[in-house]
Copies of this chain bind each other. A is one copy, B any other.
Amino acid sequence: MTYCVGLLLRDGMVLLSDTRTNAGLDNIATYRKMFVFEDTGERVITILTAGSLSVTQTTIARLRDAMDDPESTPETSIMKAPTLLKVAELVGNTLARVRSDIDEKLSAMGQGASASMIVAGQRRGGAMRMFLIYPEGNFIEATEDTPFLQIGEHKYGKPILDRVVKAHTSLADAQKAVLLSMDSTLRSNLSVGMPLDLAVIERDACRVTLRRRIEAGDESFRAMSDAWSNALREGFTRITV
Contact = CB atoms under 8 A, between A and B. Distances in A.
A233 B156 contact: no
B241 A179 contact: yes
Interface stretch (A27-35, A102-110, A122-130, A159-167): A159-167
B220 A228 contact: no
Which of A172, A179, A232 is the most central at the interface, judged by chain B CB atoms within 10 Å of its CB? A232
A158 interface: yes
B188 A162 contact: yes
A155 interface: yes
Interface string A199-241: 0000000000000000000001000100111011111101111
B188 A232 contact: no
Contact of A162 (B172, B187, B227, B236): B187
Interface residues of A, number: 33
Interface string A38-75: 00000000000000000000000000000000000000
B236 A176 contact: yes
A1 to B, nearest CB: 12
A68 to B, nearest CB: 36
A116 interface: no
